[in-house]
Structure formats: C-alpha cells, structure tokens
Amino acid sequence: MAELAGQSAHGGGAAEPLTALLSHGAHRRAIAPRAAGLKEKLVEPNPANQDEYIRHVLDVYRKTPGTTGIVRRADRLVAAQLHQRGVPLAAVENALVLAAARRLIRPADFAPLGTIRSLAYFLPVIDEVLGLRVNPDYFRYLRQKIERFIHTR
C-alpha cells in the first residue's frame, strides 16, 4: 500500500481536518441517526469519475454503524484503491452492511467491540462480498434488519 506524507507504514497518521472532508462539518453522532443512511438506494453503475466514487464510498463508510463517523486521509487512499481495482459501489456498500450486521447481532454476554476507525477494517469483508454469489435482495434484507435492531434498542 502506498504511503502518504506524514503517514506511518501501519496506516496511522494525522486525521484530515473535517472542513476539508465534509462541507457540513460532520461530528460524532449516535448510531441510530447514522444508520438511517443504510436505507439509501445503491448507486449503479459505478461513477466513471474517481472523485464521485471516493465521495460516495466515504459517505457510506461515515454513516455505517460502529464507525467514528470521521473520514481520515488513509480512508481516502483506501477508497481510491477500491476505485482503481474496479470494485463496484454495490459491493462496497454490501460489505459495510454485512460487517455492521455481524457486529450488531452478537450475544449480549460478549464484550462490546471497539469503534471502527478505518475503512481498511472492511477490506476483508469487501473481498468476501466480491466472491459471493448472493441475491442482492439479501443485502436489502440485512439493511432492514439492522434498521429494526437499532430502533428497538
């Protein structure tokens, strides 16, 4: 993976200022309001413009339950690499939904999971989704389940 100036080899580094990333000044929010973004329709086909692709991936990531809601420079790099690999937006969105569902639906006696701080956390799930032959309705079903689960808490 390429390194950016000021970024360590393990992907850490200073976060980008929020004003440079999100014009509306994102901040930490409760899970329920961010989860509402999961109901949004999938964008098909992939935008040809890399900037649009990156913006969409980062917006979906930011709204995913269990994330900080903050986008960092390393997340932009991961989104750009996904675009260069030709990963469909639907696969990225479905992977984030699948990972969020797995994290939310856990036995109550398990220790709580930490907050996800990087889009790179989802890369193995994105690769998993790319290898699946699943009806797209399955991921719509998962989105609905997540919404119900969050709203019943």
Return d(Cα 75, Cα 69) in angstroms, integer.
12
For the whole prediction, is pTM greater than 0.85?
no
- pLDDT category at 52 given cuts 50, 70, 90 is very high
Domain ranges of the chain: 18-151
| 153 pLDDT tier (thresholds 50, 70, 90) | low
What are phi and psi for residue 122, nearest 5 degrees? -85, -5
Reading the block at residue 147, the tokens are 């919404």
